[in-house]
Chain A
Amino acid sequence: MPLEVQIEKKLADFTLDVAFRAPAAPLSILGASGAGKTMLLRCIAGLERPGRGRIVLNERVVFDSERKIRIPARERRIALLFQNYALFPHRTVKQNIAFGLDGLAQTEQATRIASVVERTHLAGLEQRYPRELSGGEQQRAALARALAIEPEALLLDEPLAALDTHLRSQVEAQLQETFAAYQRPALLVTHNIEEAYRLSEQLLVLSRGRVAAFGAKEEIFRHPPSVEVARLTGCKNISRARANADGTIETLDWDCRLRVEGAAAGERAPKFIGIRAHHIDFLESHGGAAEAENVFPCWVARTSESPFRITLFLSVDAAHSAAGRYQLQAEVSKEKWKRFRERPFPWHVQLAPELLFLMDK
């Protein structure tokens, strides 16, 4: 693997203890704020010293506590894109980009600058100072400066966090373009689930300094290994659960008995069950409970509207619903909501066996 990381570092209230191998492709690092994401990047870049561990980049050991190897940041050829971009305010865009090219021949410098300026769409802004640029342009300038040194790995700390919503999608597209051309390890720290999902194939979920999940994004979203990962990846519906002798699952918070695909095959006793809000479906017509699996009558306790979707807070018990209490959150399109809203209660909700997932911690 191009980038191998295995480090331990004591932080104020927990220990960062992480091990993973990153491919030559983007990898999103997802986690709540304060999970140690930024510290992880800083350790890899060489700006912080891990207590113990080993970091290997393209077969080059840049840190090894046992062999007392600690290559300084300036020799690692790992570019770090700071959250606030950290552009040098007293240098123009071009001078910022050229900063990392010191020591190269003038012609080589010019070629590299021209190349990154083109790739990051900065043409015409080379003579501007950072304060004369918009947020998105500053971000691109910082990216250009990082790419100019042709780093062996690219680390991005919340690259979109400081931008307005309308700029985010633009800059995200820019990042996608960059990643497609980069073909080397690129670690992207974010706390935005959708960004993480869109920008990389692999995900690493960090929780209080530990790797809570690491792997293909579809797999992590489909089968979160723990409640923590389920929550961090945006799962709204989680219930305590218990396996029955007949292979069905008893849900302690949803007051129903469910069949879950693959549940019988799993030897471990599940402790929790979950389903994503947009996976909860309502049946258009209900012929009888026996026809479809995992179908229950439900009542809407309250609703919450977003521009294009609506969140329904559901209760499987009429009395609970009247009291405003709910057990499940479902997300449906406005169209579907329009069709259903006038119908009398109870509606019939289906928790599809193939969309439910079990967790043992």
Chain B
Amino acid sequence: MDWSPLWISLATSLTATAVTLVAGLAAAAWRENRTGAGAALIDGVFLLPLVLPPTVVGFFLLLFFGRNGPLGKLLMQVGATVVFSWPATVIAATVVAFPLMYLTARAALEQVDPHLLQAARTLGASEWRIFREVALPLAWPGVLAGTILSFARALGEFGATLMLAGNIPGKTETIPIAIYFAVESNDIRQALGWCAADVGISIALLGGLYYWTHAQRLRRERWRQR
């Protein structure tokens, strides 16, 4: 049995989640104090991958990173190609997972009492320190939920990945793609095996999330009873 799709999937999802976490937080923090048409437009761009079919996202990415695409040309000059390589799976997964991270992180940051941030300002803290030591710790439950959602979305990514990274066993073949091609070649046992692996990872993930939020609530209630 070739286990490579599992490792590729995990490596891709973890990398994509890490990138999404940083990018999503940065975008959410940047967006927090902005209003106006420009910010709303950027919101639209950020959320587009959530509403578009993954194949459309993948096709756009292909145009963008392809041999004649703006970024593809640039990368060619330094001798790098993205299309049909492992980084392509990460890019595809990151782009589709990003809106989930962005939305939850924004909601979580908006929940933080603005007076706390202002108090921190009058106490002499820099904006970066306020974000790190006040906003982020208080928004953490929401940010963590966003991270898990993003990981789940990245793990299940199929359409955009196939468009941008193709199906190269041992290199870009993630679990969802392995399942598709197993079914196509009538290898039902293989397909079922990968399905079971996916279900297992998802249950572990959701179970972990449930346990974690539940533990939080229990701790809060214990405080209240004091």
Contacts and interface: CB of A to CB of B under 8 A. Distances in A.
B34 interface: no
A80 B124 contact: no
A76 B119 CA distance: 13
B42 interface: no
Nearest to A75: B124
Contacts of B122: 45-47, 73-74, 76, 78-80
Contact of A88 (B121, B126, B134, B223): B134
B123 A79 contact: yes
Contact of B115 (A73, A75, A86, A145): A86
Contact of B125 (A78, A80, A99): A99
B121 A73 contact: yes
A135 interface: no
Contact of B118 (A80, A90, A132): A80
Given A82-B115, A86-B113, A132 B123 contact: no
B69 interface: no
Contacts of B137: 90
A102 B124 CA distance: 9
B129 A88 contact: no
A170 interface: no
A47 B33 CA distance: 13
A261 B1 CA distance: 107
B217 to A, nearest CB: 15
A111 to B, nearest CB: 18
Contacts of B226: 132
Interface in B125-150: 125-126, 129, 133-134, 137-138
Interface size class of B (residues with CB under 8 A): 10 to 19
B119 A74 contact: no
A86 B133 CA distance: 14
A100 B130 CA distance: 11
Contact of B126 (A74, A76, A99): A74
Contacts of B119: 80, 82, 86, 88, 145
A324 interface: no
A99 B121 contact: no
A354 to B, nearest CB: 46
Contacts of B183: none
A95 to B, nearest CB: 10
A89 B223 contact: no
Contacts of A21: none
Nearest to A47: B118
B123 A99 contact: yes
A190 B223 CA distance: 33
Interface residues of A, number: 26
Specify which of B124, B125, B134, B223 lies most central, judged by the most chain A CB atoms within 10 Å of its CB.
Answer: B124
Interface string A330-352: 00000000000000000000000
Contacts, number: 63
A74 B118 contact: no
B129 A102 contact: yes
A109 to B, nearest CB: 13
Contacts of A102: 124-125, 129
B123 A131 contact: no
B182 interface: no
Interface in A84-99: 84, 86, 88-90, 99
Nearest to B224: A131
B197 interface: no
Given A79-B123, A102-B125, A89 B138 contact: yes
B138 A100 contact: no
A79 B124 CA distance: 9
A149 interface: yes
B116 interface: yes
Nearest to A95: B133
Contacts of B138: 88-90
B129 A86 contact: no
Contacts of A73: 118, 121-122
B120 interface: yes
Contacts of A100: 123-125
A77 interface: yes
Contacts of A77: 124
Contacts of B121: 46-47, 72-74
Nearest to B119: A86
Nearest to B120: A99
Contacts of A90: 137-138
A290 to B, nearest CB: 63
A9 B138 CA distance: 32
Contacts of A89: 116, 138
B20 to A, nearest CB: 24
A145 B118 CA distance: 14
A74 B116 contact: no
A143 to B, nearest CB: 12
8 contacts: A75-B124, A82-B118, A86-B115, A99-B133, A100-B124, A100-B125, A102-B125, A145-B119
Please give me the 6 A-B residue pairs with the lowest Cβ-Cβ distance, nearest first: A100-B123, A86-B119, A86-B115, A73-B121, A74-B124, A80-B122
